[in-house]
Chains A and B, each alone.
Chain A
Amino acid sequence: MTPLIELKDVSFSYSTGNGSVEALSGLNLSIDDGSFVAIVGSNGSGKSTFAKLLNALIVPSSGSVVVDGLDSHDKSNVYAIRSKVGLVFQNPDNQIVSDTVEDDIAFGLENMGLGVDEMKRRLEVCLSLTGLAALRHCSPDMLSGGQKQLVAIAGILAMQPKCVVLDEATAMLDPNGRRMVLGLCHRLNHEIGMTVVLITHHMEECIDADRVVVFDKGHLAMDGTPREVFSNAPLTRSLGFKLPPVTELAEHLISSGIDIPHGILTSEELCSALKAAYAREVHSKGVHANEVHAKGSSAKVVHDV
């Protein structure tokens, strides 16, 4: 796959009253076209700074960000980059500008100066992609948090970007809202090949990503498939974030002596790993019947969890 976004030796410092704060330093990263990348890291590790760099809201203090061949240092590229990379923010109320769903989706298109027919055509496509058709005339005040984020995503989709970046867009949502937003991201990724960069604190949201990137104090700390990243439990813990619940449970089981592999991500995987471990044990040791029974039932409890 070809890279859509390339960051080379990117550093960024915020200037504050007393000196400057280096938010990112020496970052090298490229994001493939059509991939689903999850970004995690503790507070202040530079995730939002990274998101703003992708969208040319800020330009690197040193190094370069190139989006689809366009360097963000070049001022004439800024608007083209913003139309290629859409940004969804954390607080749904702070990014909706209009007083109906339709008008809000059209906001970006009005800014681009498109004609009414083209706006209407794109609006219909976005409404059906996001499933918001029934709410098109609603005021944003009447929507749930999850629905508001869908509106924000729809407003970005209308601009026909190549990539959507969600900066903790699920952080203020209830589980149902999170499911809606995440489901839409995966659908867009599969159905129209949209590149998705998902910044999140919820590890279970990373499991289905193609790639997980971990930030730590402005540096890239880990980078790999979800399995690669989450099988290194000691390192992830030292970086200060929790594993996905199922992985956490599996790690506990491993440390209490059960023979299953590291980096288990889903409950299905855990189930079959436990079954395999159990079968191996029965087969190799020929254990007593009552012991087998005890182990079998503990495995069952684990499954129910």
Chain B
Amino acid sequence: MSRNAAIGRYYPVPSSLHDLDPRTKLVALVVYLVSVFVAQGFAGLLLPVAALSFLMALSNVPVKYVLRGLKPILVIVVVTDIFNIFFVDDGLKKAFVMTLRMVETIWGSNVLCLTTKPRDVSSGIEKGFGWMKRLGVPVHDFATMISLAFRFIPILSTEASRIMEAQKARGANFERGGLIHRAKALVPVVVPLFVSSFKKADDLAMAMDSRLYGSCDSPTRFRPFVYGHCDFVAYSIMFVYVVLFVLARVFPCHLT
């Protein structure tokens, strides 16, 4: 079950990365993503890779598992690469930069998801965007929505494979035929899946209502956020990273 939903799956192993406060990890992700997108030059592009390799070593999550999370973007990467290489001036270089950026983005987000419980990710977001509550934005509800979405990914993917088995037993074939044939074969899977997700959403809403969701203006947290000294170390490393990055930006060594 957890195999076919490798994106966003928490990988529970003890590690210093797992123990970090989710706020720290979210800030790190933002710093990292900004660096990926403003990167220029060879050093600028490779710095995020170096940082990620370091984080992966810290995380104790098997490399294989992290890389599996990159599979879904493989198609997009290949298509844009072909497009760039054949139709764009200086395409090879652009394709290289683009590929690196996409891989770095997904890879980085994966490292966060693998080492942080979905509920912590969403609470971290809630905390980070807490100031928007004063503007009337329902931050708590958004955060809850995100964590529920994470919880229901494996449940719905199990449901989908169950429906597919049932349709196979009735003679459906999802492996053979052209693209259109296969897409058509999926219709009797998607429709019942929609119906059952609505039912689930309805049940879940009732269960949450009956457990007093929304009854209190300031819901509390069972696991309050506390910064440990690991977090201070992490912020220091981030600072060094930013400095290195700015240096790489100021003194670029260009690809060509």
Contact = CB atoms under 8 A, between A and B. Distances in A.
Contacts of B206: 52, 57, 87, 89
A107 interface: yes
A14 to B, nearest CB: 13
B210 A79 contact: no
A119 B200 contact: no
B1 to A, nearest CB: 7
B207 A112 contact: no
Contact of B212 (A102, A103, A106, A111): A111
Contact of B215 (A87, A112, A116): A112
A268 B49 CA distance: 73
Given A79-B215, A97-B151, A111-B219, A86 B119 contact: no
Interface string B196-225: 000110011011111111111111111110
Contact of B218 (A87, A94, A107, A113): A113
A85 B217 CA distance: 21
B216 A113 contact: yes
Contacts of B154: 141
A156 B210 CA distance: 9
A99 interface: yes
Nearest to A102: B222
Interface in B81-99: none
B220 to A, nearest CB: 5
A93 B215 contact: no
Contact of A93 (B150, B155, B216, B221): B155
A89 B203 contact: yes
A95 interface: yes
Given A55-B210, A93-B200, A97-B207, A106 B222 contact: yes
Contacts of B186: none
B209 A82 contact: yes
Contacts of B1: 141
Interface string A102-131: 110011111111111001000100000000
A98 interface: yes
B219 A116 contact: no
A89 B217 CA distance: 26
A97 B222 contact: no
B211 A159 contact: yes
Contact of A86 (B148, B210, B221): B210
Given A89-B206, A95-B203, A95-B207, A112 B212 contact: yes
A83 interface: yes
A113 B117 contact: no
Interface in A13-62: 52, 55, 57
Nearest to B203: A94
B204 A97 contact: yes
B151 A116 contact: no
B235 interface: no
Contact of A91 (B12, B203, B212, B215): B203
B14 to A, nearest CB: 12
Contact of B216 (A55, A111, A139): A111
A85 B209 CA distance: 12
A155 interface: yes
A71 B117 CA distance: 40
Interface string B100-118: 0000000000000000011
B220 A110 contact: yes
B211 A108 contact: yes
Given A79-B215, A111-B211, 17 more contacts: A55-B210, A79-B212, A82-B210, A87-B206, A89-B207, A94-B207, A97-B207, A98-B151, A108-B212, A111-B213, A111-B219, A113-B216, A113-B217, A116-B224, A141-B1, A141-B155, A156-B211
Interface of B: 1, 10, 12, 117-119, 147-148, 150-151, 154-155, 199-200, 203-204, 206-224
- For the complex of A and B, list the 7 residue pairs with the smallest distance between their C-beta atoms, beginning with the closest: A95-B207, A94-B203, A106-B222, A113-B216, A108-B211, A79-B215, A111-B212
Interface of A: 52, 55, 57, 79, 82-83, 86-87, 89, 91, 93-100, 102-103, 106-116, 119, 123, 139, 141, 152, 155-156, 159
